[in-house]
């Protein structure tokens, strides 16, 4: 499938414009670490929301979503609990402002605010840094696999060569522009991506024929409620996953998704978006808008799935789709759209890829530079040296992602390991850090290190010992339980975090849960918002987001009554949230002077390096 000259021209012009913006931001990004990685904390909340939402709308993930709808029907929506698709409900209700109140530069640096600057806190920071680098590297490899498959549909090269070309070219603006360049580019990307998604959703809606579609799928394809062993899924294996025992998989997907939502962002660039907000109020608002903007991804994915199922009228392409549903997205775009629109849609989808790719690289570079290079190698590095190190770290991450893509073949397999197996060992300590005062740095680090070891051990066993990968409904609970036990036991058998650190953390961040001993030391302190109200807002937002997303799927399938019932539910939840959430947002923080960013950055850089006495 070849691109016309006009389509090539559109794509090249778009990439040139994007790289131009990134290079134009180079001077502003080079002011310092806070400017490079957080935009100096002066970016508006709506821009951060657009940036975060487009970061979620990546090509690889969308290809995977389309394939789940093709294979599982509407039940495929349950799979997406695995990555916590309604997590923005938790962002807007409480998690966004908790993260922002910590006031640090990276998620690893956050460990000092929670566990102190002694050896235990330093060990916790190191464990989080290694986890972050492992996860980000895996995500880059996962993204490269998808981009290789996507590019190979349109370019006369192998998937690996396509991944090298696409990541190499787009990496230029990522390395140069820093966070300023990323957010400004992603504003443009969000607009282009949303327009393209809406346009294609309309095409899919008009293309849908209920009679033809019904002849292509089973009678239960449109049933969204899960069953333990659905008849139509017996023996169905896709991307290395056997869906026969569907009920058990749903239980694990939902459990993992809820753990993720309560633990905070797992895709570590999400953490960065909230740290970059001006204050807790903006962090809450960006969480709400983030979820709303992301709506367009779902009707777009369903429109692609509908077209793939109904067929293209080309036996060769239909056979290719049946062989590998993960290629449905690029195949449908190339086959169904006229010249010009193909280029526009490719530019729109490249926007999604660039958003995720740039955010992942920038977040990974922050950990490598701030938490490895400056912490252990060159503590006295000048701002210019740190910026140069950031360029090098970003380049190394891109090269590593390309290398990983050489060995990857399935998007689903990569996704399940990152968000299923690896997350099983990491989530327990990441949940407990917010809600249990007794968790210390030693317990956290033990949970993270053991979780990574168990996850990597299962990956090795799946490839070298077992004839087929261990099902997620067995591997996930075993690893999660082991990590939980190790975390709690080590925490209880070691010294607790000092009360001064805990009091400061509790009063600044205002978390919920088992904090009674800390709360008792200052009974005059009260939380800004009762957690009972935050929990109610989470429920309202969770219902609103789920019905909004699911309603768009039914709309594409011409199920108007069900779709508008979903939308009506969303409207009711929004009205309730206006009174229970928006009216109770934290007040705006005072405007900081221009030179405060540099001062704060210097303070963070020095205060987060323990002394020899520690």
pLDDT digits (tens, 9 = 90+) for 440-484: 999 999 999 998 888 888 877 877 777 777 888 898 899 999 999
Element (H, E) at 241: strand 241-242
Stretch 382-409: mean pLDDT, rounded?
80
Reading the block at residue 519, the tokens are 């709360």
More confident residue, 409 or 367: 367
Residue of 186, 177, 38, 179 lying closest to 106 (CA atoms): 38
Stretch 485-497: mean pLDDT, rounded?
96
pLDDT at 178 over 60: no
Q: How far is CA 115 from CA 160, 328, 487, in A?
A: 43, 47, 14
Q: Are 25 and 37 in contact (CB under 8 A)?
A: no
Instruction: Specify the pLDDT at position 30.
Output: 46
Question: What pLDDT digit, counting tens, does each position of 6-58 carry?
Answer: 888 888 887 777 666 655 654 554 444 444 444 445 678 888 888 777 777 77
pLDDT at 184 over 80: no
pLDDT at 605 over 60: no
pTM of the model: 0.83
As a dihedral over the C-alpha atoms of residue 400, residue 53, residue 91, residue 596, rounded to 10 degrees, the angle is: 80
Q: How far is CA 497 from CA 120, 124, 159, 232, 366, in A?
A: 8, 12, 49, 53, 26
Stretch 231-255: mean pLDDT, rounded?
88
| Three-state DSSP class for residue 590 | coil
Stretch 107-136: mean pLDDT, rounded?
85
Q: State the greatest distance between any 2 C-alpha atoms of the chain, in Å, as a whole number.
A: 75
Kindly give, in sequence order, each residue whose CB lies less than 8 Å from that of residue 94, ignoring residues fewer than 6 positions away.
512, 529, 531, 534, 537, 538
CA atoms within 13 A on the CB side of 541: 32
Instruction: Specify the pLDDT at position 351.
Output: 67
Reading the block at residue 217, the tokens are 């799928």
Q: Which residue's structure tokens are 């294996």?
A: 237
Q: How far is CA 317 from the centre of its chain?
A: 32
Extents of the domains making up the chain: 5-589
Angstrom distance (rounded) from CA 186 to CA 351: 7
Q: Are 8 and 344 in contact (CB under 8 A)?
A: no
Kindly give, in sequence order, each residue whose CB lies less than 8 Å from that of residue 142, ignoring residues fewer than 6 positions away.
60, 408, 411, 414, 415, 418
Phi–psi pair at 2, nearest 5 degrees: -105, 150
The Cβ of residue 16 has, within 10 Å, a number of other Cβ atoms equal to 10
pLDDT at 176 over 70: no
Q: At what angle do helices 297-310 and 59-72 cross, to 10 degrees?
A: 50
| Three-state DSSP class for residue 238 | strand
More confident residue, 610 or 135: 135
3.30.70.20, 1.20.1730.10, 2.60.40.740, 3.40.50.920: which CATH number matches 5-589?
1.20.1730.10
Angstrom distance (rounded) from CA 302 to CA 293: 17
Q: Are 342 and 334 in contact (CB under 8 A)?
A: yes
Residue of 183, 180, 155 lying closest to 169 (CA atoms): 155
Q: Are 353 and 14 in contact (CB under 8 A)?
A: no
Angstrom distance (rounded) from CA 541 to CA 93: 8
Q: Which residue's structure tokens are 């397999």?
A: 413
- pLDDT, mean over the chain: 82
Instruction: Specify the pLDDT at position 609.
Output: 35
As a dihedral over the C-alpha atoms of residue 555, residue 557, residue 558, residue 560, rounded to 10 degrees, the angle is: -40
Q: What DSSP string runs through 339-387?
A: TTHHHHHHHHHHHHHHHHHHHHHHHHHHHHIIIIIIIII-TT--HHHHH
Reading the block at residue 109, the tokens are 């640096």
Question: What pLDDT digit, counting tens, does each position of 289-334 carry?
Answer: 999 999 999 999 999 999 889 887 777 777 777 777 778 888 888 8
Angstrom distance (rounded) from CA 246 to CA 81: 14
As a dihedral over the C-alpha atoms of residue 269, residue 275, residue 276, residue 281, rounded to 10 degrees, the angle is: 130
pLDDT at 381 over 90: no
Q: Predicted confidence band at 174 (pLDDT cuts at 50, 70, 90)?
A: low
Stretch 542-563: mean pLDDT, rounded?
96
Question: What percent of the chain stands above pLDDT 90?
Answer: 35
Instruction: Specify the pLDDT at position 25.
Output: 54
Stretch 344-366: mean pLDDT, rounded?
74
More confident residue, 116 or 464: 116
Q: Which residue's structure tokens are 């080590």?
A: 490
Instruction: Specify the pLDDT at position 37.
Output: 45
Reading the block at residue 410, the tokens are 């399935």
Whats the size of the chain, residue-wise? 614
pLDDT at 113 over 70: yes
Angstrom distance (rounded) from CA 113 to CA 20: 38
DSSP structure class, residue 35: H
Question: What pLDDT digit, counting tens, does each position of 492-551 carry?
Answer: 999 999 999 999 999 999 999 999 999 988 878 888 889 999 999 999 999 999 999 999
Angstrom distance (rounded) from CA 294 to CA 46: 13
Instruction: Specify the pLDDT at position 610.
Output: 37
Question: What pLDDT digit, counting tens, does each position of 403-447 carry?
Answer: 877 776 555 566 666 666 777 888 999 999 999 999 999 999 999
Angstrom distance (rounded) from CA 32 to CA 370: 12
In DSSP terms, which residues pair with 237 in a beta bridge? 242
H and E: helices and strands count for the chain: 28, 2
Question: What pLDDT digit, counting tens, does each position of 253-285 carry?
Answer: 999 999 999 998 765 567 778 888 888 999 999
């Amino acid at each position: 499938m070849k691109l016309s000259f006009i389509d090539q021209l559109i794509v090249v012009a778009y990439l040139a414009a994007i790289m131009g913006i990134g290079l134009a931001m180079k001077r502003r990004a080079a002011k310092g670490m806070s400017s490079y990685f957080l935009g100096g904390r002066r970016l508006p909340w709506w821009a951060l929301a657009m940036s975060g939402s487009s970061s979620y709308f990546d090509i690889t993930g969308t290809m995977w979503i389309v394939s789940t709808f093709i294979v599982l029907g509407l039940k495929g929506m349950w799979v997406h609990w695995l990555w916590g698709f309604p997590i923005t409900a938790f962002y807007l209700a409480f998690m966004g402002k908790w993260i922002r109140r910590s006031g640090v530069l990276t998620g690893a640096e956050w460990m000092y605010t929670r566990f102190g600057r002694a050896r235990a806190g330093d060990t916790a920071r190191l464990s989080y840094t290694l986890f972050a680098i492992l996860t980000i590297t895996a995500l880059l490899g996962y993204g490269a696999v998808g981009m290789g498959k996507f590019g190979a549909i349109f370019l006369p090269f192998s998937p690996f060569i396509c991944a090298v070309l696409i990541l190499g070219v787009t990496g230029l603006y990522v390395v140069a522009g820093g966070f300023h360049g990323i957010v400004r580019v992603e504003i443009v990307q969000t607009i282009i991506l949303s327009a393209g998604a809406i346009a294609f959703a309309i095409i899919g809606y008009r293309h849908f024929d209920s009679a033809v579609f019904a002849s292509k799928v089973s009678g239960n394809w449109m049933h969204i409620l899960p069953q333990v062993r659905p008849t139509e899924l017996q023996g169905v294996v896709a991307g290395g996953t056997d869906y026969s025992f569907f009920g058990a998989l749903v239980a694990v997907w939902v459990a993992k998704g809820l753990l993720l939502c309560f633990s905070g962002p797992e895709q570590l660039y999400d953490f960065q978006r909230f740290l970059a907000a001006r204050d807790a109020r903006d962090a809450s608002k960006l969480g709400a808008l983030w979820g709303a903007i992301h709506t367009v991804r779902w009707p777009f994915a369903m429109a692609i799935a509908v077209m793939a199922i109904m067929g293209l009228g080309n036996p060769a392409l239909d056979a290719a789709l049946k062989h590998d549903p993960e290629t449905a997205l690029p195949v449908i775009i190339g086959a169904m759209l006229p010249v010009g629109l193909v280029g526009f849609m490719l530019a729109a989808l490249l926007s999604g890829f660039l958003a995720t790719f740039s955010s992942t690289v920038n977040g990974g570079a922050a950990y490598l530079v701030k938490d490895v290079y400056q912490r252990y190698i060159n503590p006295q590095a000048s701002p210019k040296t740190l910026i140069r190190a950031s360029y090098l770290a970003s380049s190394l991450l891109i090269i590593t992602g390309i290398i990983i893509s050489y060995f990857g073949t399935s998007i689903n397999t990569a996704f399940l390991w990152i968000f299923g197996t690896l997350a099983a060992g990491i989530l327990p300590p990441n949940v407990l850090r917010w809600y249990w005062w007794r968790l210390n740095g030693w317990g956290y680090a033990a949970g993270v290190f053991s979780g990574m070891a168990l996850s990597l051990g299962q990956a090795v066993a799946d490839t070298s010992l077992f004839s087929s990968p261990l099902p997620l409904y067995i591997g996930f609970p075993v690893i999660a339980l082991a990590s939980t036990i190790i975390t709690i036991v080590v925490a209880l058998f070691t010294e607790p975090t000092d009360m001064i650190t805990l009091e400061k953390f509790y009063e600044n961040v205002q978390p919920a849960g088992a904090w009674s001993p800390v709360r008792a030391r200052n009974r005059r302190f009260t939380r800004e918002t009762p957690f009972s109200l935050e929990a109610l807002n989470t429920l309202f937002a969770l219902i609103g987001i789920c019905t909004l997303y699911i309603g768009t799927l039914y709309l594409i399938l011409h199920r108007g009554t069900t779709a508008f019932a979903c939308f009506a539910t969303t409207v009711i939840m929004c009205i309730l949230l206006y009174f229970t959430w928006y009216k109770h947002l934290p007040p705006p923080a005072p405007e900081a002077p221009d030179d405060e960013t540099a001062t704060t950055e210097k303070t963070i850089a020095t205060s987060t390096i323990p002394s020899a006495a520690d």
